[in-house]
Structure 1
């Protein structure tokens, strides 16, 4: 069979090209340390490597989530510890305040001043932010300050009941926050309690406010409990002389509380009704004709938030005027305050225990991820990593093949009929 010069050239060129490609691939493997550079190198191994890489990426994200959760929960744990220490100090003040036989009104005023400072400190703690800027006790929202108000306007929780959850494995989520409502608001009260608030439909500007208030006659309030009351401002012409006035009604029946129809209004003046005492400040919007004006609510509750407990304790001490009646009243408030603080501490301890359980879950899950990551990388190494000794030997062999092909091509290309004459 005749073989033309062109065929000889093509065969030699293909051989040299294949050798060059083989050498280039081996050199690339040596430079990267990887046996599998493209899926075609080993389709089965490539598929497995891709799967492992995806799992490792998930583990990396889970690791970051665990770090976020640990930071948030550790901060919450630290904040709860600070709140507990603060309440312990208020407990000590309450024990001191129970010494009604020797304490004077000025000494009670000094104790009340410290409690007021503790209220401000507690408010700051309850509105603590995490490193991401979210409020740790705001529930699942985290974006808005959860605790607002003061002793005069009343305290309000504006957060949510839920929690922020973060995924730390394919099958596990962990709560990274808690609702301040569950920890600091829904605390069983020592005795039947109440909350005050303004209607969201009120139109006075600046807004008139209703104080936290106080139970001044527990027996009278227990007889009225659990009924709620509504304070409604009526038309100024309802009284003589003309002026702002309010009527107090039972919420469930709409019946007017005896003695509280069209009562003249004086800003800051004490209102005592059914064993409760509170005041309204500001300039509420009056009613017009049959239309009602601003409204304020007094709602019964078996619970009492921790801020209100401290505010009512402080208020009771400020009312001590040296009379036995005022001292008897503060003695009762001291007893209630101690019980309420104990209940608040119980709530904090329960939450702290839950935090500990979550932190343990994070720790064990992190350890599992570390072990899984290690095993996965070992498997991927076996599938992808290069045997350097074998590759070096192969490169030497491929180089010899290339050199032989090149030498053969040179000799063959120089053969002509003229060289045989």
Structure 2
């Protein structure tokens, strides 16, 4: 077989180029630290690496979501702590203002402090996060949730939704609570029923919050305790809920029981005075503050006005207790979610470590093997180059 000089040169150049190509690929592997530079290097491994890389990116996003949830919940916890402290202070002021040693002037000072705490509450309820979103607006996070009205009332402009973020493939977590649930939907009275004195009462009767002694016998209806004087003796009669009319002598501080509930009245009601007991309704915390301040601002000049103050403050105290319980329940929920985030982040970290380890085994380079291969390829390239130079000299023209 005849081998031409051109073919010899072509074979030599081809060997050099093959060695250069292999050396360049090894150099690129050493530079990137990756064994698979293109899918053709290892089709099966490339597919597996793509799947694991996608899982890593998703898990990292879950971690970022967890950070967002934690930041929002910690901000909410701080706000709720301040609200709770304000509630405790208002309760102290209510007890202080209900003391008989207070004058109309000192009660107005107390009411002024309550109104300042009310203004602070409005500011706290309109808190924004670092992104400028209102944390108590529900799903309408760009809308200011609470706005004062002309009459002193506070309106809620948000909704009752909760934004949720995915922190794992199977778990979503609420990043906050709606202002409706935190500040607005607070039951009045003892949570089952609320007591009220008639504004036209002329006696000194003061009714307590009452309690349920038999839930099976309780019927959610409006009941009225009416007082009448007969022959110089004071009697009361309970009406409503289908109860038969029974006139009973009144004894101050003695329990008045009916329909599975009981209440007590201190002081002496006047003939024609009455008190109502009706099922609890929701009332916002702002209204509770405002009503308490208004009650303390009203002048006390006689026994009936003193009784109205005492009844209003007693009603405000049980409403404050309901609000404080709601705030504490919300804080407990926030704390539970924070613990959930912490646990899930630890789980995600373990998952990330496993995924990255497996991904490294698939696509990362074995440096010891690559360096040995690099040295071998470099030697082979040098040998090919030297061989080509020697073969290039094999020409008859060199002997002419």
Distance across 2 between alignment mates of 1:107 and 1:324: 19
The 5 Å alignment of 1:104-143 reads: 104-143=103-142
Partner residue, 1:304 = 283
Are 2:381 and 1:382 equivalent residues in the alignment?
no
Shift of 1:419: 5.1
Give yes or no for the alignment of 1:55 onto 2:94: no
3-state secondary structure, aligned to 2:139? coil
Q: 1:420 Cα shift?
A: 6.3
> Which residue pairs with 2:306 in the alignment?
327
Q: 1:368 offset after TM fit, Å?
A: 1.1
Matches within 5 A, 1:9-158: 9-100=9-100, 102-150=101-149, 152-158=151-157
Structure 1 residues 14-413: aligned runs within 5 Å: 14-100=14-100, 102-150=101-149, 152-190=151-189, 216=199, 302-413=281-392
Q: CA deviation at 1:352?
A: 1.0
Structure 1 length-normalised TM: 0.72
Contact residue 138 and residue 160 of structure 2 kept, 8 A: yes
Residues 217 and 85 of structure 1, relative CA distance in 2, 3 Å threshold: farther
Runs of 4+ in 1 over 6 A off after TM superposition: none
Deviations 1:182-202 (A, max 9, x none): 1221111115599xxxxxxxx
Q: Structure 1 residues 86, 139: CA separation in 2 closer, same or farther (over 3 Å shift)? A: same
3-state SS of paired residue (2:136): coil
Could you say if the C-alpha distance between residues 150 and 106 of structure 1 is closer, same or farther in structure 2, counting changes exceeding 3 Å? farther
Superposition deviation, residue 150 in structure 1 = 4.8
* Cα pair 1:104 1:322 within 8 Å, conserved: no
Contact kept? 2:80, 2:331, Cα under 8 Å: yes
- 8 Å contact from structure 1 (residues 193, 303) kept in 2: no
Whether the aligned pair in 2 keeps the contact of 1:151 and 1:308 (CA below 8 Å) is no
Gaps of 5+ in 2: 206-221, 225-273
| Separation in 2, partners of 1:418, 1:142 | 89
RMSD: 2.6
Contact 1:193 1:301 in 2 (8 A): no
TM-aligned CA deviation for residue 360 of structure 1: 1.2
Deviation string, structure 1 residues 391-413 (Cα, Å, up to 9, x no partner): 22111211222222222222222
Q: 1:415 to 1:67 in 2, by over 3 A?
A: same
CA contact (8 A) 1:141 1:164 kept: no
Listed one character per residue, the Cα deviations across residues 239-281 of structure 1 (whole Å, up to 9, x for unaligned) are: xxxxxxxxxxxxxxxxxxxxxxxxxxxxxxxxxxxx9xxxxxx
Partner Cα separation in structure 2 for residue 177 and residue 336 of structure 1: 30
Aligned residues: 327
* CA spacing shift, 1:345–1:152, aligned 2, 3 Å: same
| 2:258 alignment partner in structure 1 | none
Task: Output the CA distance in 1 between the equivalents of 2:133 and 2:397.
Answer: 92
Contact 1:87 1:341 in 2 (8 A): yes
CA drift of 1:155 comes to 2.1
Give me the whole-angstrom Cα distance separating, in 2, the residues matched to 1:322 and 1:215.
18
Shift of 1:417: 3.6
Residues 187, 280 of structure 2: 8 Å contact kept: no
Cα distance between partner residues in 2 of 1:403 and 1:215 = 108
Deviation at 1:53, TM superposition (A): 1.6
